[in-house]
Every structure is written in structure tokens, then in C-alpha cells.
Structure 1
Amino acid sequence: MEDNNFWVYSRYEDVNRILKDTVFVKENRNAMPPHANEAQQQGTTAESNPMMSMLDNWMLFRDPPTHTRLRGLVSHAFTPRAMEKLKQSIVSIAEQLAERMAEEEEPDLIASFAFPLPVIVIAELLGVPPEDRDLFKAWSNTFARVLDGVDHPPDFAEQSAKAAVEITDYFRTLIAQRKSSPREDMISELIAAKEQGDRLTEQELIATCVLLLVAGHETTVNMIGNTVLTLFNHPEQRMRLLERPDLIPSSIEEALRFESPVQMTSRLASADIELGGQKIRQGQVVQVMLGAANRDPAQFDQPDRFNIERAPNRHLAFASGAHFCLGAPLARLEGEIALTVLMNRFPKLRQADRPLKRTQSVLFRGLDRLYVRTQ
């Protein structure tokens, strides 16, 4: 699709190279010649668009050195030591949610378990008060729709701008509270880092909190739902897992490969480059298909077979390179704990005779509803 300045790559080797090669960048200003940037900037008003202003400060859409700086400020929260400290808290949350599920005849696994688990975890990590968690559901859904990039109804621009303003105001208030009365949470730590001389602005601080909240649960919800449904659809693998609970970590990895929660991402070429026999020109968009790469027969033996004992399993569900998912250790831990708790509490868990509902998205692969029976 050279005529449209747009390329799509789906082979594992190509996708992995694009994700790791510094020629491919996230920011348009780093991909285009200076004169092209000047012309484009004259027609943009990111500052007057609250949503675009917010996204412009997400490390997800930035290149080094800004990306490196923002990532470095929060990376300590996802170290193995930090994950070990969180483990028991996540187990407790998952067990409480499972107990509530047991009280329902046919609970919706997504609404009752997969969605609240990562929301509660990331909210606790940030320091969001428990009574405010429900506020984030609508906000997060709006951000997810923005990231999806598909056509939206005419009023969506106004709706997304409103969500950006509301969540900005919320975190600005919370940040002010933590400045006067710090606690043991990530917001307090980020404020301390700023005050020790880092150049983190208030807008960057707010944007980072929002990114962690949205990214910290959107993909994990999909991962949990996809894993359970895939096990339902492969009963022989589910029986194997019940016999061998030590395979839970590799089951999560295989589910991430087989039903990747994030299906694609994109880069911009900052210089002319040849890849896969094609000439990509500076400034052209390169779409990489993570889900397709994870089913590449050149990389995975029998790629369309769900095999919880697959090894090695170097999938790209968390991408790779500089933008490898910062929260991958937390997502893996949540997935493993979720599956362990569900199997222990509901060994007879099965899909209810009710239609499931898939998320309508080209970016995310997940479920909006999955009714189950626990007995």
C-alpha cells in the first residue's frame, strides 16, 4: 500500500525487527523532515484538544529521550521485588471476587472477575481511593475507543474531550492531596521524583497516571477472559492443566500467543529502509500485526494449536524493543493468580449456555461478556 503511505507486516521476523529497529519511531516529529513538521504543526491544535494533549504525554507514543525518562520514573514499580510484595494482595483480591462469583447462578466472568481484578490492583498501586474506582470504568472505555482508531459517531470527539478533562481534574486533585500528605503509593513516588530535580511536568505526571490506569487493566481483562474461554474450547488442555497446575505460567504464555490481547501496533519510518523486499520511505506508517506474528509457522510449530506446554514460546504479545510492555510482569502475575484462584475455587467451571459477546475492536481482542457456571 505504498501509494497510501501505509505498510502492513505480519511475519514474526519482520514484526520483531520493526519493533526493535530504532529507524522505526512513534513520533511524527521524529519521522518527518523539519519542513514537513513545520507545515503539519501549523494545522494541528493538540493544546486545544484535551484528549490529544493527554495522549501526547503518554510514554506509549514518545521516543527517547522523553520515553526513556518517563519509563524510568515508573519502572521500579514493576521489578520482581515489587511484584513479590504485591502478590499476596492480588491473591486476596482474586479470592474475594471469586467468593462473590460463587453467589451468582450464572456470573459474567468479565464483569464479576476479569474486569475488577486489574482495576483494583492498579488503583491500589496508584493510590486511588476504593470509593473512586467506579469512576474509571467509563473513562477507561473512552480511552480504549480512542486508541482503537476506528470511525466513531459524530459526538465522540466531544465525549472523549470531556473524559480527558474529567480524569485530568481528578488526578490533579489527587496529586495536590499527595503533595501535602504523601503516602506509600506510586503517585507520591512520582511527585517525589519530580521534586528531586526530574523534569516531569504536572501534565506528564497526570498523563502517566492515566496511561497506567488504562493500560494496567484494559489488556489484562482481555488476557484473563481469553485464557478462560480458550481453555473452555480446548477441554483436553484444560484437563491437563487441572492435573498439572504447575503448567499455569506456561498456559498464560500460550494464551497470550494464541489470543493476543493487543492485536497490532504501529511505527513510522524515520528514514528510507528496505524490509521484506519492499522499500519503506521516510514518514510512511508501518502497521505491525502482533496477533498474526504470534501465529507465524516459521516461528511456532503448529501455530494454530493451543498447547499449554509449548516451549520455547517467544511470543510478541507484549511487543519487544524499547516499547516492550512495562507492565508485563504485573499482567503475568495477575493472569497466573487469576487462573490459579479460578481453578482452585471452581474446578468444574464451564461456559454457560448463553451467548458470549466479543469486544468490537480492531486493536484489542477480548470479551465484553462471558457467562459461566461454577458448579
Structure 2
Amino acid sequence: MAFGRRSSVGTIKRKGVIPLSTHSNPQSSSTEKTNIPAWFRRYSESVHSNPYPFYSYLLEHEPVRYVEESGFWVISRYEDVNRLLKDPVFVREHRNAMPELYAEPPQQVVNEWKPVNDLLDNWMLFRDAPVHTRLRGLVSPAFTPRAMERLRLNIRSVAEHLAEQMAEGKEADLISAFAFPLPVIVIAEMLGVPPEDRELFKGWSHTFARILEGGEQTPDFAGQAIGAAEEITVYFRELIAQRKKAPKEDMISDLLHPKEQADALTEQELIATCVLLLVAGHETTVNLISNTMLALLDHPEQHARLLSQPSLTASAVEEGLRYEGPVQQTSRLASADYTIGGQTIKRGQFVTVMLGAANRDPAQFADPDRFLIDRTPNRHIAFATGAHFCLGAPLARMEGEIALSVLMTRFPEMRFLDSKPNWRPNMLFRGLGTMQVQL
């Protein structure tokens, strides 16, 4: 698997599309309207701070679009996205899309990106069956709803402790004070990472989030990415060595001793799986918590309703996932010619699947640009679907529900203080860098 993950988000203003959020930025130039390839080339604050008018444009005018300049397809309609993600024709690995190119064993190419690719190539996220099935099967017992329920009291205790610390002041950055440390503490405890090492995760995770985005990378970032891959590999190799000598009640120890020894992870697979769980286990949940809180504060009537009806908390989390999803897109490769939306995707071509657009499709959701905490039904695909449906969905949902419950109970008068949302410059993950609030 080559380095680089394709991503795509953008913003376009079209007549009749007016986002309801008071913090949206619907303005964009006529050049931006017609230069669709530019939306998928690089991050731009002016165009990506509010991608939803652009999504609306795609849904109405170009739900299946080939971006010839970059050589990939963009699929945005809910029905098409749902169909594509479930169809085994669409795969993650080049070797499964174009097997004839791998008739001979590939030469081992040693290059500067090797530390990064050694990790990504062993992520179940980028593998197909049977490797994906095996890796997922080994990790999935830790993420069943029953296993998650055993964590509920501890997660709530952590959330209440963080809220208590926040309450010592009149203002706080919700990201650094609450939304980041909560999922980090949870996934670190699950993996068996010592408390004093949790802060290391922040820089590593943000770096890998940018790696996953793909696209243009500066020489400076290349050094940062390679350094992060080397550092995190050494870190988990040492932690794994400790667990081999002295197992504990944590996920690393469990993965070192599977019930069926034939399925045991190699050391590199185990290191890569730990890194994946670190990134996926907290990067998206930080965004889920803060994005949903921002939507609530941005919609006072919904905020007031949740205060009066806390039984809607789980539903509010689902609406937050739909309305301002932590992950905006994913990608696949066609392993055969495939006709969709009246157009044919050729075998071997990349497809960018717009989760964020699908979750605003008016054919699936009534009033899709409205944030409604009691939306029913709400069959969003923020966690994707098909074989690669998010393994950590039960944990993310529970963390989001507990986080909202604690924050709403402890800080019912919370207000958003920033003049506009500070979206992090990433086209794949949609999340805030900071979120200053008055308590």
C-alpha cells in the first residue's frame, strides 16, 4: 500500500442553500463554484470551514462526479454511498483491485516513508478479507456493547472529574479541558498505557490524522510524520515487551495471548493495531463531543430542549454524528467495472465516498440542514457501513452520551465564546482545534 490517503471536502454557495448555523460561512466565489477539483486538492479555511453548501450542490447537480485532474470519483448521495460501501466489488487494497499487477512478489522498496507505511499497511482499516476479518476478529471482543457497559461507570467517573476541574474557572477550552482528555484516558486505560504517557498521544494522533488526509505534504511535515511513526513504534514495542514479561488486565495483554494461537498477531501487527486504536479511539471521539456541543450551543432551542428532556441525550449524540460528523469521507478502489448513477467506474479507479454529504441528503433526511435532537428515524452513516463499519462505534456512542450528560448537567448555562469555530485544518476529520466556552 502506497503512502497517501485520498480525501475530499469543500464549500460551495448555491441559490437557496442557507445553513442554519449562526457560525457558518456560506460565501464563496464564482471561481470556487466552477473549480470543483480545487475542493479536493488542499485545505482552505475559507472553503472548508462550512462544506455543507458544497455538499448540497453535489447532491443536487453532480452526485456521481469524476475528478479527471486527480483521477478519482466522488460519490455523495446517501443511497449510492450506502450501496457502494456494502458492495464487495469495492476494496481497500490495490492488490485486490488489480491482482494482475501483483503476479510477481513485489520488491521491497526501502524509502523514507517506510516507518509510516509499516504501520498503515497493518491497519485493518486498509485491509480486505481475509486479513481484515482476522485482525478485526481478534480486536472486536473488546468493543462489544456488553464489554462497553462494563466501562460505563469508569467513563462517567472520568467525565465528572474533568468537569469538576473545569468548574474551577469561569471559562475553559472545552477541547483541552474535557473533549480531548476523556477519550484519551479511556483508550489509554483499555490499552494499558501508563497515565504519565497519555500526553504523548496528542501530538502523535494529530500527526497521523494529517497523514490519513493524504494530499500534498511539505518536507517539514514529512520529517514530522516519519519521526512520529518511529517514536510511536518504539513506544509500543517497549510496552509490548513489558506485557510479555508481566501481563496485566488490558487489551495489549489480551492480544498477546489469543484463544487460538494460530491467529496471534505478529509484533508489527500488534504495534500497528495499538496505533490504530489510539488514533481511531480518540481522534474521532474528541470531534464527536465538541462538534455536538457546538451544535447545541449554536441552536439554543435544541439546547434548551435537551436540558428539559435529558432522555434525548442518546438521540442528540446520533444527530450530532449526522449533522457534523467527525469523519467526512472515506475511500475505496473498484475491483471491477461498476455502473452507478448512470456512469461507469472503471476497475482500479479510486472512489471518494462523501459521508458528510450523504448525511445531509434530503432524499434520506427531512430538513437535512436542521439540527434536531429528536430526529427519528436517523439512519446516518457517520460510522460508515458494510465490512468496515466502525469497530469502536459502541464506545464512541457511550462516551458521547456520557459527555453530553455530564456537561449539560454541570454547565447548563454554557456559552460559546469564540467569534467563529476554530476548525482544525484537516479535510478528512472534522473537528475543532480549540473551543472557548463560558461556564
Displacement of 1:317 in angstroms is 0.2
Pick one of 48, 54, 61 that aligns with 2:126: 61
Distance 1:198 1:46, change over 3 A: farther
For this pair of structures, how many residues does the alignment match?
373
1:215 and 2:285 aligned = no
Aligned to 1:25: 91
Structure 2 Cα separation of the partners of residues 200 and 353 of structure 1: 46
Give 4+ residue runs of structure 1 displaced > 4 Å after superposition: 38-48
Displacement of 1:198 in angstroms is 1.6
Displacement of 1:347 in angstroms is 1.1
RMSD (CA atoms):
1.7
Displacement of 1:195 in angstroms is 7.5
Counterpart of 1:313, as a letter, is: N
Counterpart of 1:28, as a letter, is: H
Answer yes or no: is the 8 Å Cα contact 1:356–1:371 preserved in 2: no
Give 1 or 2: higher helix fraction: 1
Q: TM-score by structure 2 length?
A: 0.82
Structure 2 Cα separation of the partners of residues 86 and 182 of structure 1: 20
Counterpart of 1:305, as a letter, is: R
Matches within 5 A, 1:343-354: 343-352=408-417
Structure 2 Cα separation of the partners of residues 76 and 136 of structure 1: 24
Pick one of 322, 331, 350 that aligns with 1:257: 322
Displacement of 1:2 in angstroms is 6.6
Q: Percent identity?
A: 66
Pick one of 277, 283, 292 that aligns with 2:357: 292
1:373 and 2:373 aligned = no
Q: TM-score by structure 1 length?
A: 0.96
1:269 and 2:334 aligned = yes
Distance 1:257 1:48, change over 3 A: closer
Structure 2 Cα separation of the partners of residues 209 and 189 of structure 1: 12
Displacement of 1:75 in angstroms is 0.5
Give per-residue Cα distances to partners, 1:192-219, cap 9 Å, x unaligned: 0188232421000000011001100000
Indicate the SS of the match to 1:107. Answer: strand
Give per-residue Cα distances to partners, 1:132-165, cap 9 Å, x unaligned: 1111111111111101113222122222111111
Distance 1:48 1:331, change over 3 A: closer
Aligned to 1:158: 223
Counterpart of 2:431, as a letter, is: G
Counterpart of 1:148, as a letter, is: E
Give per-residue Cα distances to partners, 1:47-104, cap 9 Å, x unaligned: 9610011100000000000000000111011112111110000001000100111112
Structure 1 Cα separation of the partners of residues 207 and 248 of structure 2: 29
Answer yes or no: is the 8 Å Cα contact 2:112–2:226 preserved in 1: no
Q: Which moved more, 1:43-52 or 1:356-365?
A: 43-52
Please list every run of 5 or more consecutive structure 1 residues that lacks an aligned counterpart in the other structure: none
Structure 2 Cα separation of the partners of residues 293 and 43 of structure 1: 39
1:302 and 2:367 aligned = yes
Matches within 5 A, 1:154-193: 154-193=219-258
Structure 2 Cα separation of the partners of residues 47 and 207 of structure 1: 18
Indicate the SS of the match to 1:53. Answer: helix
Q: Which moved more, 1:185-194 or 1:36-45?
A: 36-45
Please list every run of 5 or more consecutive structure 2 residues that lacks an aligned counterpart in the other structure: 1-65
